Amino acid sequence: MALLTVDGPLDLAATLESGQAFRWRRVEPSPDGSPWFEGVAFGNLIHARQTRDGVEFTTSPDPESDVAPLLRDYLRLDEDLTAIYQALEFDEHVRQGIALYPGLRILRQDPWECLASFICSANNNVRRIARNVDDMSAAFGSPVTGGADERRSFPTPTQLADAGEASLRALGLGFRAKYIAATAERIAGANTDLFALRLAPYQEALDALTELPGVGDKIANCAMLFSLDKPEAFPVDVWIDRALRDWHFTEQQKPIQRNRMRPWAQARFGRYAGYANQYLFHSRRLGRR
């Protein structure tokens, strides 16, 4: 058992269950009632829970000391969330979302897993996306631990390219199978380094991602926000569409087309538009307001 200390606000449950990542499950609560989460990341099975002192966690097969810096980076625990809140507090609805979920953080995920997961998000909901991602992992990923609780890592581009469209359709991915297979083939064949896009300007990364099969503006912005260090990214899905129309747009603005919402929001929220997006998305999807 190891501990990550946390400076600043953190809500681990809201962070892991806010539709950013799809490999985390609630498991049995600890004696004090705090939930444990089981997830697969960095080739490890991770169990984590939030305590008064920070984030307590175990890992397998690698030792906790090796995984600790990766998990800290994944949870973005070194990010100054208080400063981000101060930059966004001018907006009443984002401010209300922060009040509901203080400590919800944007994750820094593996770019390939994040991109492929959000290709699965087309005309889909969070529960089915999680099932799609777990099914692909179980069928084509590499094992991360032995025993009855064995889970598998998310498949590499090569593993999914080798699996092919027909095998992905057999898992229930539907039309998304075509795009997962084609994008996996493109990335594997070209030895594309998605991590390099973390250093690229926003527009350059957007252009590179939207050249991939099945990757439009929304999916690209999800990948940039949740894995490629682009806090200005602003994915627009049905929940954000409703939130902006109901909470931000005047009657004259409400007929605005969805493809014009992202530029509008980036101009309004600036550098941390992605954080505004996540608080609006999470509070709207859960129907708390």
| pLDDT above 90 for 235 | yes
C-alpha span between 10 and 103 (Å, rounded) = 4
Pairing of strands 25-29, 35-41: antiparallel
Residue 52 lies in a domain: yes
Kindly list the catalytic residues: 218
Q: How many domains does the chain have?
A: 3
Domain boundary among 182, 205, 227: 227
| pLDDT above 70 for 147 | no
236-273, pLDDT tens digit by residue? 999 999 999 999 887 778 778 888 999 999 999 999 99
Least confident interval from 61-70, 73-82, 210-219, 278-287: 278-287
CB distance 163 to 152 below 8 Å: no
**Same domain flag for 178 and 149:** yes
Residue 89 lies in a domain: no
| Tokens, residue 182 | 């084609």
**Same domain flag for 210 and 176:** yes
What residue spans of the chain are helical by DSSP H? 12-16, 64-74, 81-88, 92-100, 111-119, 126-140, 157-170, 176-190, 202-209, 217-227, 238-247, 261-269, 273-285
SS3 content of the chain, % helix, strand, coil (to 5): 50, 10, 35
Domain assignment of residue 257, given as a range? 238-285
C-alpha span between 225 and 207 (Å, rounded) = 15
Least confident interval from 84-93, 140-149, 171-180, 275-284: 140-149
**Same domain flag for 217 and 273:** no
